Structure 1
Amino acid sequence: MVASTVLALANSRAVDVYVKYADMLVGRDKACRLGQYFARLLAYLVGQQVARQGKTAGRIEWLATLAKIQQALATTRKVMRSGKFVNFAQLAIRALAAQSGGGDEVVWVLGVVHKLGMCVFMAADTLGLLGTTLALIRLRDPARITRIAQRGWMYALAAQALSALYQLRTVAIRSADLRRVRSHVEKTGDAMGDRECTTEEHALSVQRTTLSRQLAMSVLDLTIPVKGLGVLPLHEGLVALAGTATSLMGAQDVLAKAAA
């Protein structure tokens, strides 16, 4: 009885999806990121409670624990993505060599900027890991390396957000054209044209949803380097909440792939 129950549990779909999710590096990274920013959000809320009601031993202990969680998960994520700048460098070089590949040049340029920004971010992040966390190399100005990493990330996210916004505009134009075609098809009673319009409408709907989600994630994530660089005096609670939200969205995306 117990053996059959354990076997059924081991072969269940939930466990299968979990194993697939945990087997992916990006899945583990998203889980760590969610824990990191949720701990940051909790630290902000506890800090607000301290500001209103004063310090207690329990609250101080909570803040120390949350700070340790943030640091541990941040370090873990840096180790997991160390060296990934080579991947983004390769993607940027290939994109530049393609010379837009006959597609939309605006999307191409913004895509190249995104990849180059991520390359700078990952390279500086790896350098900071080696010099600050692991102390394997000596850095003259670790704070400057951190600023370079955040600038690279900020430019990459800004380019990604602009690309999504631009493509949403293109989708809106195509949708308007399709509505006119649909009106003509309905007047003429063209059954094949009606099926083609339905297929195109579905494709545009999926594209619009994907781009809208990407735009939301890019804008929310943009608050993190913007605050870190002091570009805007953003609220700590807002930044922590934004990071938690995008981490959850990213984890959901990976989970959907694991469940497919």
Structure 2
Amino acid sequence: MVLDTAVYHPSLLKLIRFLDTTAGREKVLRGVQYLCRFLAFYLLRKGYTLETSKLFSSLQKNMAFTRKAMRFLKPLNHLQDASKAYDNKLMDPVLRYATVVRNVSYMGYLSADSLAWFKLLGVMDTKRLPQLSKVANWFWFGGLISGLVNELRKLQIDTLKRTALVSEEKVEQAELVKVNSALFAAKRKTFATLTDLFIVLNNLGYLHNDEGAIGAAGTITSVMGLQDLWKACK
């Protein structure tokens, strides 16, 4: 009876459904990857042995390799999303074009990521395309900037909606709650995007923070992504 209660508990069933998705598993691995990146730096600074630091560095590299495999052919998803956004003439123009650019950028980023995976597998000569990592990070940067434009536009639109609602004599509480929720989501997404921009600017050499700071930033955005996926999981 106790075992049945545990096995069929709604939270466990939701966790199983969550981990049954590629996006859920990939986001978990991303969190582990950046956490290991942070720990490899932090533990060494705290006086732990070099072997301990190398263990977490090795785990980080293995997580990164596995994520590349899981994201193979994912550029097709972004190609489809870009096409849908471009065809949606009813969408706000700023949101429409920002969505197109964001998905095209992520398509480029993930395509470069797949080529890097081929190198690691030995399918492609490691000496070919030496700037591949930098190209991937520039595509990631483009995706983040267009995503930031998208969220700032949403903030502007939802702020105007909220102002209009509050100015009415009889405020529709349900609609106000909905707009406030959308505003919070946009602000939260803006913070996550800026945090990821901190990572990519370090990758490109425009910022020069240590591995601990980069690892902590990646862990934060991974947890936020996990929360969003968990909330969306039915």
Normalization by structure 2: what TM-score?
A: 0.93
Distance 2:174 2:52 in 1: 54
Alignment of 1:108-187 (within 5 A): 108-130=96-118, 132-138=119-125, 140-181=127-168, 185=169
Question: Partner residue of 1:223?
Answer: 198
Q: Which amino acid aligns with 1:200?
A: E
Per-residue deviation, residues 138-157 of structure 1 (Å, max 9, x unmatched) = 35434311111111111101
Moved more, 140-149 or 156-165: 140-149
Question: Partner residue of 1:70?
Answer: 60
Whether the 8 Å CA contact 2:39–2:212 is kept in 1: the answer is no
Secondary structure of the equivalent of 1:143?
coil
Question: Partner residue of 2:30?
Answer: 33
Moved more, 211-220 or 169-178: 169-178
Q: Please, which runs of 5 or more residues in structure 2 have no aligned partner? A: none
Shift of 1:199: 2.6
Whether the 8 Å CA contact 1:117–1:155 is kept in 2: the answer is yes
Q: Which amino acid aligns with 2:75?
A: F
Distance 1:200 1:257 in 2: 21
Aligned CA RMSD, in angstroms, stands at: 1.7
Within the alignment, does 1:81 sit opposite 2:94 as a pair?
A: no
Distance 2:195 2:176 in 1: 28
Question: Partner residue of 2:42?
Answer: 45
Moved over 6 A (4+): none
Percent of aligned pairs with the same amino acid: 24
Shift of 1:164: 0.5
- Cα gap change, 1:143 to 1:226, in 2 (>3 Å): farther
2:81 to 71, 85, 91: 91
Whether the 8 Å CA contact 2:40–2:57 is kept in 1: the answer is yes
Per-residue deviation, residues 34-78 of structure 1 (Å, max 9, x unmatched) = 11111111112123234xxxxxxx511111100111011111111
Distance 2:218 2:130 in 1: 22
Question: Partner residue of 2:51?
Answer: 61
What is the aligned residue count? Answer: 234
Shift of 1:115: 0.4
Shift of 1:135: 1.0
1:237 to 194, 206, 212: 212
Question: Partner residue of 2:178?
Answer: 203
Distance 2:94 2:210 in 1: 33
Q: Please, which runs of 5 or more residues in structure 1 have no aligned partner? A: 51-57, 186-192
Whether the 8 Å CA contact 1:161–1:218 is kept in 2: the answer is yes
- Cα gap change, 1:107 to 1:198, in 2 (>3 Å): same
Q: Which amino acid aligns with 2:138?
A: R
Per-residue deviation, residues 187-211 of structure 1 (Å, max 9, x unmatched) = xxxxxx44xx223211211110111
Shift of 1:217: 1.1
More helix by share: 1
Distance 1:174 1:122 in 2: 36
Whether the 8 Å CA contact 1:128–1:142 is kept in 2: the answer is no
Within the alignment, does 1:107 sit opposite 2:95 as a pair?
A: yes
Whether the 8 Å CA contact 1:154–1:222 is kept in 2: the answer is yes
